[in-house]
Structure 1
Amino acid sequence: YNVNGLGQIAAEATLDDLAYYRANFRKIVSTRDWLNRELTKLGFRVLPSQTNFILVKPSVFAAKDWLQKLREKKILVRWFSAPEVKDYLRITIGTPSEAAALVKAARRILA
Protein backbone atom coordinates (compact mmCIF):
# COMPACT_ATOMS: atom_id res chain seq x y z
CA TYR A 1 0.00 0.00 0.00
CA ASN A 2 1.10 3.55 -0.60
CA VAL A 3 1.25 5.61 2.57
CA ASN A 4 1.00 9.39 2.52
CA GLY A 5 3.16 11.68 4.63
CA LEU A 6 0.60 12.03 7.41
CA GLY A 7 0.30 8.24 7.62
CA GLN A 8 4.07 7.93 7.89
CA ILE A 9 4.17 10.47 10.71
CA ALA A 10 1.42 8.57 12.55
CA ALA A 11 3.28 5.27 12.12
CA GLU A 12 6.49 6.79 13.46
CA ALA A 13 4.61 8.23 16.45
CA THR A 14 3.23 4.76 17.17
CA LEU A 15 6.73 3.32 17.19
CA ASP A 16 7.79 6.07 19.58
CA ASP A 17 5.15 4.97 22.10
CA LEU A 18 4.96 1.19 21.92
CA ALA A 19 3.51 0.96 25.43
CA TYR A 20 0.46 2.97 24.34
CA TYR A 21 0.12 0.93 21.15
CA ARG A 22 0.29 -2.37 23.04
CA ALA A 23 -2.23 -1.21 25.66
CA ASN A 24 -4.63 -0.06 22.95
CA PHE A 25 -4.17 -3.33 21.06
CA ARG A 26 -4.97 -5.34 24.20
CA LYS A 27 -8.07 -3.20 24.81
CA ILE A 28 -9.34 -3.81 21.27
CA VAL A 29 -8.77 -7.58 21.56
CA SER A 30 -10.46 -7.68 24.96
CA THR A 31 -13.46 -5.70 23.71
CA ARG A 32 -13.71 -7.87 20.59
CA ASP A 33 -13.63 -11.07 22.66
CA TRP A 34 -16.28 -9.74 25.07
CA LEU A 35 -18.51 -8.61 22.21
CA ASN A 36 -18.14 -12.01 20.52
CA ARG A 37 -19.27 -13.79 23.69
CA GLU A 38 -22.21 -11.46 24.32
CA LEU A 39 -23.51 -11.57 20.75
CA THR A 40 -23.14 -15.35 20.67
CA LYS A 41 -25.28 -15.55 23.84
CA LEU A 42 -27.94 -13.55 21.97
CA GLY A 43 -27.99 -16.04 19.10
CA PHE A 44 -25.70 -14.30 16.62
CA ARG A 45 -23.20 -16.36 14.65
CA VAL A 46 -19.90 -14.53 15.02
CA LEU A 47 -17.19 -15.35 12.51
CA PRO A 48 -13.63 -15.66 13.86
CA SER A 49 -11.68 -12.41 13.52
CA GLN A 50 -8.19 -11.13 14.18
CA THR A 51 -9.13 -7.61 13.09
CA ASN A 52 -10.77 -4.53 14.58
CA PHE A 53 -14.15 -5.61 13.23
CA ILE A 54 -16.35 -8.70 13.30
CA LEU A 55 -18.89 -10.21 10.92
CA VAL A 56 -22.04 -11.46 12.61
CA LYS A 57 -25.05 -13.33 11.29
CA PRO A 58 -28.26 -12.58 13.20
CA SER A 59 -30.58 -15.49 13.98
CA VAL A 60 -33.94 -13.74 14.37
CA PHE A 61 -34.23 -10.97 11.78
CA ALA A 62 -32.42 -10.55 8.47
CA ALA A 63 -29.15 -8.62 8.66
CA LYS A 64 -30.62 -5.75 6.65
CA ASP A 65 -33.49 -5.49 9.16
CA TRP A 66 -31.00 -5.40 12.03
CA LEU A 67 -29.21 -2.55 10.29
CA GLN A 68 -32.40 -0.48 10.42
CA LYS A 69 -33.40 -1.52 13.94
CA LEU A 70 -29.95 -0.62 15.28
CA ARG A 71 -29.95 2.70 13.43
CA GLU A 72 -33.21 3.58 15.15
CA LYS A 73 -31.32 3.10 18.43
CA LYS A 74 -28.41 5.26 17.20
CA ILE A 75 -26.10 2.26 16.73
CA LEU A 76 -24.22 2.27 13.42
CA VAL A 77 -23.09 -0.96 11.79
CA ARG A 78 -22.44 -1.87 8.17
CA TRP A 79 -24.45 -4.11 5.87
CA PHE A 80 -23.44 -5.09 2.35
CA SER A 81 -25.77 -6.37 -0.36
CA ALA A 82 -23.18 -8.65 -2.01
CA PRO A 83 -24.56 -12.21 -2.04
CA GLU A 84 -21.57 -13.60 -0.11
CA VAL A 85 -22.13 -11.31 2.89
CA LYS A 86 -25.74 -10.11 2.67
CA ASP A 87 -26.69 -12.21 5.71
CA TYR A 88 -24.03 -10.57 7.90
CA LEU A 89 -23.40 -7.28 9.66
CA ARG A 90 -19.93 -5.76 9.91
CA ILE A 91 -19.34 -4.35 13.37
CA THR A 92 -16.30 -2.24 14.11
CA ILE A 93 -14.71 -2.80 17.51
CA GLY A 94 -14.96 0.55 19.24
CA THR A 95 -14.72 1.40 22.90
CA PRO A 96 -16.02 -0.93 25.62
CA SER A 97 -18.92 1.47 26.24
CA GLU A 98 -19.84 1.42 22.53
CA ALA A 99 -19.79 -2.38 22.56
CA ALA A 100 -21.98 -2.41 25.66
CA ALA A 101 -24.43 -0.01 23.98
CA LEU A 102 -24.65 -2.35 20.99
CA VAL A 103 -25.36 -5.36 23.20
CA LYS A 104 -27.95 -3.39 25.19
CA ALA A 105 -29.67 -2.31 21.96
CA ALA A 106 -29.65 -5.89 20.63
CA ARG A 107 -31.23 -7.14 23.85
CA ARG A 108 -33.97 -4.53 23.58
CA ILE A 109 -34.64 -5.45 19.95
CA LEU A 110 -34.93 -9.11 20.89
CA ALA A 111 -37.19 -8.45 23.91
Structure 2
Amino acid sequence: MSDCRNLFRNFRLLKAKQSSIGTTSFVVVDPLSTLSKIAKASDSWFHVDAACTCSACICPEFRQNIDGMNTHKWLLTNFDCSLLWVKDRSALIQSLSTIPEFLENKASKANAVVDFKDW
Protein backbone atom coordinates (compact mmCIF):
# COMPACT_ATOMS: atom_id res chain seq x y z
CA MET A 1 0.00 0.00 0.00
CA SER A 2 2.87 2.41 0.65
CA ASP A 3 3.97 2.10 -2.99
CA CYS A 4 0.45 3.03 -4.07
CA ARG A 5 0.39 6.01 -1.72
CA ASN A 6 3.73 7.23 -3.05
CA LEU A 7 2.42 6.89 -6.57
CA PHE A 8 -0.69 8.97 -5.93
CA ARG A 9 1.13 11.50 -3.72
CA ASN A 10 2.83 12.77 -6.87
CA PHE A 11 -0.54 13.29 -8.54
CA ARG A 12 -2.28 15.29 -5.81
CA LEU A 13 -3.38 18.05 -8.14
CA LEU A 14 -5.09 15.66 -10.51
CA LYS A 15 -8.73 14.91 -9.85
CA ALA A 16 -8.75 11.70 -11.87
CA LYS A 17 -6.77 8.53 -11.27
CA GLN A 18 -6.33 5.67 -13.76
CA SER A 19 -5.89 2.01 -12.98
CA SER A 20 -6.30 -1.21 -14.91
CA ILE A 21 -7.26 -4.82 -14.63
CA GLY A 22 -5.95 -6.91 -17.47
CA THR A 23 -4.29 -4.46 -19.85
CA THR A 24 -4.43 -5.60 -23.45
CA SER A 25 -0.67 -5.88 -23.99
CA PHE A 26 0.66 -7.14 -20.65
CA VAL A 27 -2.41 -8.29 -18.65
CA VAL A 28 -1.39 -6.04 -15.74
CA VAL A 29 -3.77 -5.98 -12.77
CA ASP A 30 -3.57 -3.11 -10.27
CA PRO A 31 -4.70 -3.41 -6.61
CA LEU A 32 -8.11 -1.83 -7.19
CA SER A 33 -9.36 -1.85 -3.62
CA THR A 34 -6.28 -0.06 -2.30
CA LEU A 35 -6.08 2.44 -5.14
CA SER A 36 -9.78 3.25 -4.97
CA LYS A 37 -9.50 4.08 -1.26
CA ILE A 38 -6.60 6.43 -1.95
CA ALA A 39 -8.47 8.10 -4.81
CA LYS A 40 -11.55 8.50 -2.62
CA ALA A 41 -9.48 10.07 0.16
CA SER A 42 -8.21 12.67 -2.33
CA ASP A 43 -11.73 13.23 -3.71
CA SER A 44 -10.65 12.02 -7.15
CA TRP A 45 -12.54 10.29 -9.93
CA PHE A 46 -11.13 6.77 -10.28
CA HIS A 47 -11.27 5.05 -13.67
CA VAL A 48 -10.47 1.37 -14.14
CA ASP A 49 -9.68 0.11 -17.62
CA ALA A 50 -11.01 -3.45 -17.70
CA ALA A 51 -9.49 -4.45 -21.07
CA CYS A 52 -9.69 -8.11 -22.00
CA THR A 53 -9.24 -10.10 -18.79
CA CYS A 54 -12.10 -8.61 -16.86
CA SER A 55 -14.18 -11.40 -18.40
CA ALA A 56 -12.71 -13.56 -15.63
CA CYS A 57 -15.14 -11.77 -13.33
CA ILE A 58 -17.88 -13.96 -14.77
CA CYS A 59 -16.66 -16.46 -12.16
CA PRO A 60 -18.09 -15.76 -8.68
CA GLU A 61 -14.69 -16.16 -7.00
CA PHE A 62 -13.31 -13.19 -8.97
CA ARG A 63 -16.25 -10.80 -8.61
CA GLN A 64 -14.66 -8.85 -5.77
CA ASN A 65 -12.51 -7.29 -8.51
CA ILE A 66 -15.37 -5.63 -10.40
CA ASP A 67 -16.59 -2.82 -8.14
CA GLY A 68 -17.21 0.23 -10.30
CA MET A 69 -15.64 -1.27 -13.39
CA ASN A 70 -16.47 -0.29 -16.96
CA THR A 71 -16.89 -3.61 -18.74
CA HIS A 72 -16.99 -2.36 -22.31
CA LYS A 73 -13.85 -4.26 -23.34
CA TRP A 74 -14.86 -7.68 -22.06
CA LEU A 75 -13.74 -10.42 -24.40
CA LEU A 76 -12.16 -7.79 -26.70
CA THR A 77 -15.49 -6.53 -28.08
CA ASN A 78 -16.47 -3.04 -29.21
CA PHE A 79 -18.54 -0.79 -26.97
CA ASP A 80 -21.67 -1.37 -29.04
CA CYS A 81 -21.36 -5.17 -28.67
CA SER A 82 -20.75 -5.30 -24.95
CA LEU A 83 -22.26 -5.54 -21.52
CA LEU A 84 -23.35 -2.51 -19.51
CA TRP A 85 -24.40 -2.67 -15.88
CA VAL A 86 -26.77 0.15 -15.08
CA LYS A 87 -28.43 1.05 -11.82
CA ASP A 88 -31.49 2.55 -13.51
CA ARG A 89 -32.18 1.16 -16.97
CA SER A 90 -34.99 3.65 -17.62
CA ALA A 91 -32.51 6.57 -17.58
CA LEU A 92 -30.31 4.81 -20.15
CA ILE A 93 -33.26 3.88 -22.34
CA GLN A 94 -34.75 7.40 -22.24
CA SER A 95 -31.45 8.96 -23.24
CA LEU A 96 -31.00 6.62 -26.23
CA SER A 97 -34.61 6.17 -27.34
CA THR A 98 -36.09 7.05 -30.67
CA ILE A 99 -39.64 5.82 -30.72
CA PRO A 100 -41.43 6.57 -33.98
CA GLU A 101 -45.12 5.82 -33.94
CA PHE A 102 -44.84 2.92 -36.41
CA LEU A 103 -42.61 0.99 -33.95
CA GLU A 104 -44.93 1.34 -30.97
CA ASN A 105 -46.93 -1.70 -29.87
CA LYS A 106 -49.11 -2.74 -26.94
CA ALA A 107 -46.47 -4.92 -25.29
CA SER A 108 -43.80 -2.20 -25.36
CA LYS A 109 -46.20 0.50 -24.13
CA ALA A 110 -47.26 -1.75 -21.24
CA ASN A 111 -43.61 -2.53 -20.39
CA ALA A 112 -44.49 -6.19 -20.82
CA VAL A 113 -41.31 -6.80 -22.83
CA VAL A 114 -37.78 -5.46 -22.81
CA ASP A 115 -37.37 -3.55 -26.06
CA PHE A 116 -33.64 -3.88 -26.73
CA LYS A 117 -33.69 -1.53 -29.73
CA ASP A 118 -33.13 1.37 -27.30
CA TRP A 119 -30.13 -0.11 -25.50
TM-score with structure 1 length normalisation? 0.24
More helix by share: 1
TM-score between both structures, scaled by the size of structure 2 = 0.23
Larger relative contact order (CA 8 Å, sep ≥ 6): 1
